[in-house]
Amino acid sequence: MAELFAAGQQPEVLFWVGCAGSFDDRAKKITKAFIKILNNANVSFAVLGTEESCTGDPAKRAGNEFLFQMQAVTNIEVMNAYGIKKVVTACPHCFNTLKNEYPGLGGTYEVVHHTQFLKQLLEEGKISLEGGTYKGKRITYHDPCYLGRANNVYEAPRDLIRKLDAELVEMKNCKKKGLCCGAGGAQMFKEPEKGDKDVNIERTEQAMETQPDIIAAACPFCNTMMTDGVKNKEKEASVAVMDIAELIATAGDL
Amino acid sequence: MDYLPNILFAIILLFGLGFFAKNVQRLVRNIKLGKDVDVSDNKSQRWKNMARIALGQTKMVVRPIAGFLHIIVYVGFIIINIEVLEIILDGILGTHRLFSEPLGAVYNFLIGSFEILAFLVVVSVVIFWIRRNVIRLQRFIKPEMAGWPKKDGNLILYIELILMFLFLTMNGADYQLQQMGAAHYASEAGILGSFPISQFLSPLFDGMSISSLIVVERTAWWLHIVGILFFLNYLYYSKHLHILLAFPNTFYGNLKPKGQFKNLEAVTNEVMLMMDPSADPFAAPAEDAPDPEKFGASDVVDLNWVQLLNSYTCTECGRCTSECPANQTGKKLSPRKIMMDTRDRLQEVGENIEANKGSFVDDGKQLLDDYISREELWACTSCNACVEACPVSIDPLSIIMDMRQYLVMEQSAAPSDLNNMMGNIENNGAPWPFNQMDRLNWAQES
């Protein structure tokens, strides 16, 4: 972003990579897949790079409003300085925080989740999805809480999966009744409380009931939780956990 | 002497309504213990939500069986209450079926439909009872339901059942009396009302004299109206206030995206001060500055009044708990228990205030730890499943989050894993210990 700005250019959209997308080995693959699609569609975009910092979402959900607002205000200063208008992110937690909680602190942008953005690219004809790769594959989609219930985005990711010529199979708890993967509310960063089983195992069992070839996710944290769940069931050889961006990048052979 | 029943009725009615008014006063006082919150926006949307969710029961039918049965009981109670108006006027004026003359044929239709509804209510209530006590549905036998909550739930079903039976008995005996041409009951205009259900009670009354039938009819009539007044006053002591509070509760329900948690203004002020280069970090607060606000909630008075209204509205149906991922996997957290605890503590605070002539005397207890444990609070994934599941727009998640804020910002009592996570965000802008300067390294990796 700094380079574009120095050259006096303004990107169409800022890609907010997020902490998982920047540092987590699994999530970095999602970042790269999404970048491939953006480049292929000739989207003018930029990333903040080392000027990006945690949105503060996990701090806020853990109850540390102070740390959240410090993060938010710092990020807003950076984004406002660059005159950012539109933000796209592959993380529903960043998406929710940027879209809903930043405006009250002085950061108002048009924020979209990458599944919404990809759907728009598809509708504008900037990317095309040649089926084939996923023809006849059973894909079940796990709704991230912060995309689905929190922000009512249920159809964009599903529309993309349908376009892949794949068979979309729903779990018994989906959309508004979707079961959490167990990572939200800062649970990702702590041990779970005592119970009968872990939430991600329960959710993975629901996913397995649909006998999928692929569990599609749209959140790096859900991805981790579901991947762990699949490993726990020793099914990693037959069931893949993939982000929507990865599905599309692979389908387009990018 | 003839006026004695009328006077007695008027006294009972006034006493019943007066006591109810007193309870409403208590309720309003307790709810107002909560912090102020501005919910004056979007009036039209709020009216629509109330019409759709409370009046229209749209979220009840998400679970079709319980939803359908509930609608019967709900419609039954509202419509049969039209009849209560006639009963009250008959009681005061000493008349018999006052509305029959002005309404004519419509009256017969009304009474007939009340009877059919009463019968359907009986059927539904019996099924509800079976679900709670025979089938023992999961959500009705969770730990927080043990003891009084279970009894309370059944008691309400019994009261409803008894009221419906009294209503039908009253009508059945009346029908018999009208047919026998008893004075005061029979009318020259023919049979008043139609009795599609209570006519089947006739065999019970066969061979009874007019005077004993009158005793039956009067007894049922009195018990029915006294029962209704009792039920009205039982509400405040039970979980059943939702029949009234569902309406304001859905009106004041959250209109923002569920993922949007409110930004604490007190914190914003602090943060802005820190970011302001011209602020004097050593400045003493102004003499008249108010005490700094407590962050988060450790007791009911730290919550806002909508959250407190939520707690009184909860009827312990447990849909939230059955959708909760933490509860489903055996953790202690139950969103329903959060609401029940909040109400129980609020009730305790209210009684404390009453016992101490209008002011709260510290009882060494609070909502945190004495009611809601930290283990419950930390088990929440903030997934909003409970909020989505609630048929009357209750938000247990907001209470959990407010209490977490207290734990973290007032007590620094987060689980150590979370302290590590927050330390990382503070130091290097990510929840994991990676260097901020490495944030773009992925771009160089293949």
Determine the residue type at B253. Answer: G
> How confident is the model at residue A131, as a pLDDT?
61
Between A and B, how many CB-CB pairs are < 8 A?
213
- Alpha carbon distance A227, A216 (integer Å): 11
pLDDT at residue B428 tops 70: yes
> pLDDT by residue (tens digit) across B351-361?
999 999 999 99
> Are the beta carbons of A202 and B328 separated by less than 8 Å?
yes
Is A2-120 a CATH 3.40.50.1860 domain? yes
> Are the beta carbons of B381 and A49 separated by less than 8 Å?
no
Choose among A61, A195, A196: nearest Cβ to B382.
A61
Average pLDDT over residues B281-302: 83
User: Considering only alpha carbons, which residue of chain A is nearest residue B62?
Assistant: A177
Q: How many Cα neighbours within 13 Å face the side chain of B116?
A: 8
> Are the beta carbons of B445 and A65 separated by less than 8 Å?
no
Helix H segments across B206-330? 210-234, 242-251, 265-275, 305-313, 319-323, 325-328
> Are the beta carbons of A60 and B406 separated by less than 8 Å?
no
- Alpha carbon distance A185, A93 (integer Å): 10
Choose among B328, B421, B442: nearest Cβ to A31.
B442
DSSP A86: E
- Alpha carbon distance B67, B124 (integer Å): 11
Choose among B388, B415, B430: nearest Cβ to A176.
B388
pLDDT at residue B281 tops 90: no
pLDDT at residue B282 tops 80: no
Taken as a whole, chain B contains a residue count of: 446
> How confident is the model at residue B290, as a pLDDT?
74
- Per cent of chain B over pLDDT 90 is 78
The answer to whether B398 and A185 have CB atoms below 8 angstroms apart is: no
Q: And the tokens for B54?
A: 């409370």
**Please, which residues 228-267 of chain B have a Cβ atom closer than 8 Å to chain A?**
256-261, 263-264, 267
Average pLDDT over residues B409-424: 96
pLDDT at residue A202 tops 90: yes
> Are the beta carbons of A64 and B434 separated by less than 8 Å?
no
Flag the least confident range among A229-238, B27-36, B152-161, B177-186. Answer: B177-186
Average pLDDT over residues B236-259: 96
pLDDT at residue B1 tops 60: no
User: Given CB atoms, is B268 within the 8 Å cutoff of chain A?
Assistant: yes
Choose among A50, A150, A189: nearest Cβ to B440.
A50
User: Considering only alpha carbons, which residue of chain B is nearest residue A192?
Assistant: B379
Choose among A71, A145, A178: nearest Cβ to B425.
A71
The answer to whether B33 and B308 have CB atoms below 8 angstroms apart is: yes
> How confident is the model at residue B286, as a pLDDT?
74
Helix H segments across chain A? 2-6, 18-23, 25-40, 57-62, 65-81, 92-96, 114-123, 155-163, 199-209, 220-232, 244-251
Q: At a CB cut-off of 8 Å and minimum separation 6, what does A67 contact? A: A56, A59, B422, B425, B426
> pLDDT by residue (tens digit) across A7-28?
778 899 999 999 999 999 999 9
- Whole-number average pLDDT of chain A: 94
> pLDDT by residue (tens digit) across B361-374?
999 999 999 999 99
User: Considering only alpha carbons, which residue of chain A is nearest residue B438?
Assistant: A50
User: Considering only alpha carbons, which residue of chain A is nearest residue B331?
Assistant: A195
**Cα B209 to Cα B188, B205, B206, B268, distances in angstroms:** 21, 9, 9, 79
> pLDDT by residue (tens digit) across A77-136?
999 999 999 999 999 999 999 999 999 999 999 999 999 999 999 999 998 877 678 888
Query: How wide is the angle at C-alpha B372 spanned by C-alphas B366 and B374, nearest 5°?
Result: 105
Choose among A53, A152, A195: nearest Cβ to B330.
A195
Q: Which residues of A touch B258 (CB under 8 A)?
A: 149-151
Q: Which residues of A touch B323 (CB under 8 A)?
A: 177
Question: What band does B34 get if pLDDT is binned at 50, 70 and 90?
Answer: very high
> Are the beta carbons of A149 and B263 separated by less than 8 Å?
no
The answer to whether A104 and A76 have CB atoms below 8 angstroms apart is: no
> pLDDT by residue (tens digit) across B192-210?
888 999 999 888 888 889 9
Q: At a CB cut-off of 8 Å and minimum separation 6, what does A53 contact? A: A71, A74, A75, B429, B430, B436
Q: Are strands A138-141 and A167-169 parallel, antiparallel or unpaired?
A: parallel
- Per cent of chain B over pLDDT 70 is 99
pLDDT at residue B91 tops 90: no
**Cα A172 to Cα A37, A169, A205, A243, distances in angstroms:** 32, 10, 11, 20
> Are the beta carbons of A96 and B409 separated by less than 8 Å?
no
Tell me how close the Cα of A167 comes to any Cα of chain B, in angstroms. Answer: 26
Question: What band does B291 get if pLDDT is binned at 50, 70 and 90?
Answer: confident
All CATH 3.40.50.1860 domain ranges in chain A, comma separated: 2-120
**Cα B39 to Cα B46, B269, B304, B306, distances in angstroms:** 9, 22, 11, 9
> How confident is the model at residue B214, as a pLDDT?
93
Q: Which of A175, A180, A203, A232 to mutate to test the interface with B (most CBs of B within 10 A)?
A: A180
Tell me how close the Cα of B293 comes to any Cα of chain A, in angstroms. Answer: 13
Q: At a CB cut-off of 8 Å and minimum separation 6, what does B314 contact? A: B239, B242, B336, B339, B340, B343, B392, B394
Helix (H, G, I), strand (E, B), or coil: what is residue B273?
Answer: helix
Q: Which of A176, A241, A179 is nearest to B59 (CA)?
A: A176
Phi, psi of A211, rounded to the nearest 5 degrees: 50, 60
The dihedral over CA atoms of B273, B279, B280, B285, expressed in degrees to the nearest 10, equals -50
- Whole-number average pLDDT of chain B: 93
The CATH topology of domain A128-251 is: Rossmann fold (3.40.50)
> Are the beta carbons of A28 and B272 separated by less than 8 Å?
no
> Are the beta carbons of A195 and B379 separated by less than 8 Å?
yes
